Chains A and B, each alone.
Chain A
C-alpha cells in the first residue's frame, strides 16, 4: 500500500529525513519509535503533505485504485481524499467552526470524491453519534468549536473520532499517546483497535512503548537521524523500553 524509497526531506534549511525506507501493506500496524528529534513527527507530516516540508529526493508511492501512484504529485487535501489521515500530536483549535460542521464538510468532500451523493445533516448527525460512542465522547462536543477548550485527552479522542468518521486506508497517529492519562489512553487505543481492519494500515509514531501495550504492532522500526536503523517485531519495543535507545545509536 505504501512504499517509501530513500526519502530525503528538509524543513526550512534543516535536513530531517536522510534516506528513509519503509514498506507497509494493508492490514498491518507499524510503530515508528525513536529519540526526540529523530524525524518521527516530520515523517508523518511529510506523508500527509504539510507545506513546511520539502522532499529533496526519494519516492513515496501509495496505492490508489490498485495502482502505485506518486504521492508527491497530490495536494494535501487530495492525499486525504485518497485515504491518508494524520492524527496530530497537537490538534489545532479552530474557534468559530463547530466540530459538526468540520466533520460534515470533510466527510462530504470524501463522498463527493468517490462520486457518491453528499449526506444530509440529519443523517450525518446519526452517523457521527454512533462513531462518538467508539471514543466515549458526549454528543454536545459536536456543537462546540473544533478542539477549543478541550482537554488534552478530549483533543486526542476527537482526532480518533475524525479517523472513525473518515475511515482512512492509511492512518498516521503522531504521538497520540502523549499527554494522556491511563484512562484516556485506554479509550483512545480501544477506539483505534476497533478501526483496525485487513483493508487499512496504521503507522503509530511514538516515543514510548506504553501505547503499544494496547495497540499491538506487527512491526517496530527505530528511527534515528532521519532514517530507520533497526526493524523488528513487537518485542523490539519492549527491549527499547528496558534498555533505551543508546545501544542502537
Chain B
C-alpha cells in the first residue's frame, strides 16, 4: 500500500526506546489489519477516500528535503507578528523563523523526536497522561488514520503551559508542506498541549502548503484543559488545493474550564476533521464552531463528537458552510450524553448554503442521550442564495458577483465575529474574504 511506504526506515532514523517502539509496531500492524476505511463503514459513508489511496507518498520522517531558503522566506512573509509563531516545514521545526525565545519564556516546548528517543521524560509523562485519559474516557475506536499517524509519528511537539499562565499573544502552530525537489510528502504529526489550571491561552493551528502541490497531512492534536483554564482554539485548514488532509483534535475539559473552538476548513482536495470533546468534570463549557467553504470538486468532512461524560456541562455547536460547483460537504455531529450525566445542556446547529445545483451536502446529527433531565437541541438547514437579497444589492449598484461574495461572507461572518481575540478574528476575516473572492 502506498501510504506505508518507508516504514522500515523509521527504526534507524529515530532509534526509539522500547515503549514507543512497541506502540509504533502495534499501531502499524493494526493499520495493516484494518486497511483504509470504505464507504461501507458508517463513519465514512459520505466520504470517498479512494483518491487518497491512489497516490504515492513519502513520509516526511523518512524522506523529503530540508526547507529551502526560498520556502523559508515564503513562509516567513506569511507570519503574523501579532502571534507567537511556531513553524514546522515538512514536519520539522524551523527555529530560524519561529519565535523560539519569546515562546520558551512562557511555555515549555518538547520536540516529539526527542520524546520518542527517550530524551524527555517529562514530556513522555504528559503523553502517558493523555493516553490514560483516552483509555478512561475515550469509548471510541481509533480509525486507520489514527493508527497510521501513530506508526509514523516522530514529528510534532509537546507543550506544557504552567498553571496561571496568561499568554499575551496567541500561539500559532503552522504546519507548512512544500515539495522541495518533487516528492509528494505524507506528514504525520502530533501535538500535545497540557494547559495548567487557571491559565488562559489562545492556540491557532494552521495547515497549509505550497500552492497546488500534492501532499498528505495526517495530524493529531490533544489538549487538556485543567481546572478553571480557558482556551480559544482555531484550527485553520488552508492546505493546497491538491492536498489530502486528515486530522483529529481531542480536547478534555476539567472542572470550570472553558473552550471556544473554531474549525475553519477551506483547503485540500479531500479533507476530514474529527473533533472529539470530552466534558470530564462538571461545570465545563464548550462552544464549538465550524466554517467550511468548498468549491470545484472539493470534499470537506467535519465530524464532531461531544461527549458529556458527566452532567452539569454545557456544549453548543454551530457549523456553517458554503458549497459551490460540484463540491461536497459533510457534517456529522454526534452528541453523547452518558448515563447519569444529569443537567447536561447541548445545542447543535448546522447551516448550509448551496451556490450551485450540483453542490452536495450531507448533514447528520447524531444524538445519543442516556440520561434524564437534560437539554439537547439540534437543527440543520440547507438553503440557496436568496434572489431578492441579490436584487437588493444590484439595485444599489453592486454587481451580482460582489453581492454573492458579500452575502456569503455575511452568512459565515457571525462565527468569525464570535472569536474573542481581535488579532485572530481580523486575521481570519481577511483570509476568508480572499477565499470567498476566489470561490
Contact = CB atoms under 8 A, between A and B. Distances in A.
Contacts of B407: 94, 96-97
Contact of A77 (B397, B406, B412, B414): B397
A145 B389 CA distance: 13
B399 interface: yes
Given A94-B410, A96-B411, A101-B406, A81 B395 contact: no
A201 interface: no
B396 A162 contact: yes
A113 B398 CA distance: 11
B422 to A, nearest CB: 15
Contacts of A92: 386, 388-389, 391-392
Given A51-B387, A92-B389, A94-B407, A86 B397 contact: no
Nearest to B402: A105
Interface in A76-118: 76-77, 79-81, 85-86, 88, 91-92, 94-97, 101-102, 105-106, 109-110, 113
A75 interface: yes
Contacts of B402: 105, 109
B410 A76 contact: no
B399 to A, nearest CB: 5
Interface in A51-82: 51, 75-77, 79-81
Given A96-B414, A101-B406, A75 B397 contact: no
A49 B393 CA distance: 12
Interface in B116-136: none
Nearest to B392: A92
Nearest to B387: A51
Given A50-B391, A92-B392, A96-B413, A106 B397 contact: yes
A189 interface: no
B399 A77 contact: yes
Among B395, B400, B406, B409, find the residue whose CB has the most chain A CB atoms closer than 10 A. Answer: B395
Nearest to A109: B397
Interface in A27-63: 48-51
B433 to A, nearest CB: 11
Nearest to B410: A96
A162 B391 CA distance: 15
A133 B412 CA distance: 32
B390 to A, nearest CB: 8
Interface string B90-106: 00000000000000000
Given A92-B392, A94-B389, A80 B406 contact: no
B394 interface: yes
8 contacts: A49-B395, A50-B395, A76-B391, A80-B396, A97-B406, A101-B406, A102-B396, A102-B406
Q: Which 9 A-B pairs have the closest CB atoms?
A: A96-B410, A80-B397, A76-B394, A106-B396, A97-B410, A92-B392, A77-B394, A109-B397, A81-B397
Given A77-B398, A77-B400, 11 more contacts: A50-B395, A75-B400, A80-B395, A94-B392, A94-B410, A95-B410, A96-B411, A97-B409, A109-B399, A109-B402, A166-B396
